[in-house]
Structure 1
Amino acid sequence: MTTETSPKTELLTEVTPDWEPPMPPTDLIFDDGEPLESNRHRIAMNVLIDSLYQYWSDRNDFFAGGNMFIYYSSDQARNRDFKGPDFFVVLNVQGNTDRQGWVVWEEGGRYPDMIVELTSPSTANVDIGKKKDIYEQTFRTPYYFIFDPFDSKSLQGWELKNHQYQELQKNNKGCLWCQRLELWLGTWEGTILQESAVWLRFYDGQGNLVLLPGEVAEQERQRAEQEQQRAEQEQQRAEQERQRAEQEQQRADHEQQRAEQEQQRAERLAAKLKELGIDPDSV
């Protein structure tokens, strides 16, 4: 008797027992050779990265990057239809790992905790459209900010609540609070790398500017100069006190010498009077 194989059975026998899903691509690129929008955009990105590493110099549990590829899915990696944000921070990861970019499946599925896009008129629609949707719906990034380095009033920010971005409100100094980093984002006007502009900067919980390494070094230099000046002033005061003490000693010595001279004159006078037969006490 011949046993017929049903179509369903044939389909099952075609499946390889040790089949595995396709692995994510390994031929990832991390540099497309395209520069940032402008030199000011490049400086603005490095200001955020450098100041955060300076502020958290005693920590090794975070990674901050900028203008780097973020790979989060096989399709996106193959199509290369998304590069990455201008600045991002990932918390609770090994900070000393050498990374060319951020590959989500190599980082335990971790996405950025905070993102900043340094926008411009040519990228604004993407930054508040496609990218914002990706950060909200795919990354689930808790905090997203945009800022145009050529527009001092352009700072905007959103916080993820109930799976949707809710716009953040500025405080009376025009800053936005990022609870994830426990830092404010606000503007600061000054000159960095010979370019004067209004820059996006971090502020701590008390409103103090988070300094760049060069600013910390300059602050330390000024503090050292002030300490040296105080030490020199103390030395001058000590020298003045020594000189005053010497002058007082000299005056005391002069007074003692005068007193001794007066004593000697009185003794000579008394001796002379005795020679003359005159009682000195009667004079």
Structure 2
Amino acid sequence: MVSQPLDIPLPPTQDDLPCDDGVPMATQRHKLQLDLLLETLQPWLAQRHDGYAGGNMFLYYSMAQVRNQDYMGPDVFVVVDVPKKERKSWVVWEEEKGPDVVIELLSASTARYDKMGKKRLYEQQVRVPEYFWFDPFNPEDWAGFRLVGGRYEPLGVNDAGFLPSESLGLSLGRWSGQYQGVEAVWLRWATPSGVWLPTKDDLLTQERRRAEQERQRAQQEHQRAEHLAERLRAMGVDPDEL
């Protein structure tokens, strides 16, 4: 079947290019893994004046790709030093910058291409500084690479069991726990010292804990004030007149 030429202006912008091919994520686990990576990155991004994180959306890196209608996109990608705004797709020539970090979530049908074809594409054409992959159903299958001299070199796991991301100043690690009701081993962002970036539930729990601590402090202050007032009354002093 011969592809029909796209009737779009050149160079096209994200508004001119297709942004959806109607293909859903492979499994619930893959969707949740994508959500976890993006959700925990949002508070980190919120502290910056720049940056963008996207997932399961098209990446356009060349006009040849557009002409061939070769639609592809990373499962998760992060870009720093770019304005914060909504995007339909990531168009490299429009943004004047490609992703700094790409993460692919492996599956039985995509693992070979992710490890070979996409790795080569991110290395030689898109020039993504850091590339990671992770299999949500086989968490032992994970790896990271950094672009050095135009070629990807494998990243070693540090003593704490994390893969470092120099581009973001963060780390990626495997976390065993429950996310959105599913117990599994997940790929998750962490600080360089190994502290997990919080989920929305983590932030809510922290806020509730702070509120409870404030309530307890207020109660203790009230009790101390009542105790002092009782001592003053025992001495014949009306605390209300002080």
TM-score w.r.t. length of structure 1 = 0.75
CA shift at 1:25, angstroms?
Answer: 5.3
Give the whole-Å Cα distance in 1 for the aligned partners of 2:114 and 2:179: 25
- Greater Cα offset, 138-147 or 225-234: 225-234
1:63 maps to which of 40, 44, 52? 52
> Quick check: 1:65–1:88 contact (8 Å CA) kept in 2?
yes
Give the whole-Å Cα distance in 1 for the aligned partners of 2:235 and 2:179: 58
> Quick check: 1:142–1:180 contact (8 Å CA) kept in 2?
yes
What is the letter of the counterpart of residue 62 of structure 1? G
Give the whole-Å Cα distance in 2 for the aligned partners of 1:37 and 1:242: 67
Matches within 5 A, 1:115-154: 115-154=102-141
Q: Do structure 1's residue 48 and structure 2's residue 34 form an aligned pair?
A: no
The SS at the match of 2:160 is: coil
CA shift at 1:214, angstroms?
Answer: 3.3
What is the letter of the counterpart of residue 165 of structure 2? C
> Quick check: 1:90–1:113 contact (8 Å CA) kept in 2?
yes
After superposition, the C-alpha distances for 1:171-227 in whole angstroms (9 at most, x for unaligned) are: 122210000100010011222211121111111122211112332122112111111
Gaps of 5+ in 1: 1-21, 253-283
What is the letter of the counterpart of residue 100 of structure 2? D
Q: Do structure 1's residue 81 and structure 2's residue 67 form an aligned pair?
A: no
CA RMSD after TM alignment: 2.0
Specify the alignment match of 2:168 in structure 1. 181
Question: How many equivalent residue pairs?
Answer: 227
The SS at the match of 1:139 is: coil
Give the whole-Å Cα distance in 2 for the aligned partners of 1:121 and 1:212: 28
> Quick check: 1:51–1:212 contact (8 Å CA) kept in 2?
yes
- Asked which structure has the greater RCO (Cα within 8 Å, sep 6+), the reply is 2
The SS at the match of 1:59 is: coil
Q: Do structure 1's residue 249 and structure 2's residue 235 form an aligned pair?
A: yes
After superposition, the C-alpha distances for 1:152-183 in whole angstroms (9 at most, x for unaligned) are: 22221001111111101101222100001000
CA shift at 1:68, angstroms?
Answer: 0.5
CA shift at 1:82, angstroms?
Answer: 4.1
Matches within 5 A, 1:1-283: 23-24=10-11, 27-96=16-85, 98-108=86-96, 110-246=97-233, 248-249=234-235
Distance verdict in 2 for CA 1:152–1:236, change over 3 Å: farther
Give the whole-Å Cα distance in 1 for the aligned partners of 2:149 and 2:160: 28
After superposition, the C-alpha distances for 1:219-267 in whole angstroms (9 at most, x for unaligned) are: 1121111111122123223323433444x437x9xxxxxxxxxxxxxxx
**Larger proportion of helix:** 1
CA shift at 1:56, angstroms?
Answer: 2.3
What is the letter of the counterpart of residue 127 of structure 2? R
Q: Computing the radius of gyration over CA atoms, which structure comes out larger, 1 or 2? A: 1
CA shift at 1:94, angstroms?
Answer: 1.0
Gaps of 5+ in 2: 1-8, 238-242
> Quick check: 1:24–1:73 contact (8 Å CA) kept in 2?
no
Q: Percent identity over the alignment?
A: 45
> Quick check: 1:25–1:78 contact (8 Å CA) kept in 2?
no
The SS at the match of 1:221 is: helix
> Quick check: 1:54–1:213 contact (8 Å CA) kept in 2?
no
The SS at the match of 2:102 is: strand
> Quick check: 1:160–1:166 contact (8 Å CA) kept in 2?
yes
